[in-house]
Structure 1
Amino acid sequence: MIAVRWHRRELSPMMAAVHIAAEYLPLLAFEPVLGHAGDPVLWPEGLSAAGSRFGVIGDRDCDHTKAEQSAANRTLRVAVEPGEGWRAYFDRQHSQVAGALATCVAGCRNPCAAMDWVAPSAREDLAVRAKVALMFADTPWCGCATPPPWGTGSACPRRRRCWTPGTAAAPRWTTTRSGTAPRWTTTSRCRACRACSRRSPPRTWSRPPCWTTSRPT
C-alpha cells in the first residue's frame, strides 16, 4: 500500500500508513510469542503477575512514560468495558501499549516480572525484533514528517524530500532499511536533514534489488 501511494504521488495517505506501521510494528514483533496480534482479551496473565510493574501508574522504577503507564493499565481491564470504552481505547491508547511492550523487552533499565511469561529460549529473538521495531520509528523515512492531524494533510512532505541527497538519489526507504540492520552503529547526524539529530546509517551499504536510479520530480 505504501508503494502504491508513493507511485500515485499521494503523500499524505502514504505518510499516514508509514506512521501507523511504526506505531504498531512492536505488536508484530510480539505476535510469535503472544499467538495473536495484540488482542486485549487474550493478554497473558504474566503481564499482571506478582512483581510486574506493567500498568502500574506512577511507578517511578518503570521506564514507561506516563501515557504508556496509563495505556498499559487500561489494556488490562478494557476487555470488560462497554463498547464506547473499547472503541476509545483502540482509538487513543492501543498503539502506546505496543511501544510499552517493546520497551519492556528491548529498553527497560529496571526489568520486572512483566515479561517472565516469555519462554527463555524466545527472549533473545524477541528483544532483537522489538529493538528493530523501536528503531524503525526513529528512522529518516518516518522522519519525513511528523504525524499530521488526521484529515488535514498539514504535515505532508514534498515527494522530493523523501529522497536522501548525497547518496545517488537513494530513497529514504532504502536508507531506513539499511539503518534498521545490525550494521547501524554510527551516531552522526542524518545526512538528509541537517536540523535533526537522528542517527545516520553507515556510508557503505549494499544496493538492494529494488533500488532505482531514477529521481522523482
Structure 2
Amino acid sequence: MFTELLDTIFEKSIGLYHNFDDVDSVMPLPYPNGSFEMLLFHKNWIDTVQWHLEDIIRDPMIDPVEALAIKRRIDASNQDRTDKVEFIDCYFLDKYSSVKPLENATLNTETLAWAIDRYSILALKIYHMNLEVGRDDVSESHREACSKKLDVLLEQKKDMSSSIEQLIADIEAGRKIIKTYKQMKMYNDPALNPVLYAAKK
C-alpha cells in the first residue's frame, strides 16, 4: 500500500530529525537525490522543522527580534512546503496522465498531494503525543489525557490511510479526475500583498 511507504519515509524523517533535535540541523539524504522518496522525505523534514519553530516562537520570554526572525522563517517554510506539495501533485499528474476519466468521474475536494500533506502533519502529531504519554515528569492525569488523544490520532491515521488508498484506486480506475491548482499565496507576493506594494509607493 502507498501509505505504508509514507509511514516508512515520514517515520525515518522524524526519527532522524530528533537525533539532532535542532531546527538548524542539516537535512540528511537517505534516498537518492531527485527520487520521489526523497521528495516525500524533504516534505516531511520541512514539516518537522516548522513544527519545532512553532514551538520556539511560543516561548513567552522570547526576544521580540528573535521572534520576528523566526516568523519570517516560518513564512518561508510555508512557501517551501506549498512548493513541495505542488511538486508531489506534478508527480501524480504525470504518473496518471494516460488514465482516461470515466464519463461520470468526479473531482475530489483536495488533491492527492494535499492529502499526503495532512498525513505528514498527522505523523508528527502522533510522534509528539506518544512522547507526552511516556513522560515521567507529569501527572498521571496528564498521561491519561494524552493517551486518549493518541487513540483518536491513531484512529484518524487509519481513516486517512484508507481514504488516501481509496483516492488512488479511484484515480487509477478513472472514477476520480486528477487535477491540481497553484495555491496563489498572495501574502508572499509583493505585487499582491497591499502592505508590501503600498510600501513601494
Give the structure-1-normalised TM-score: 0.29
Give the structure-2-normalised TM-score: 0.30
Q: Which has the higher helix share?
A: 2
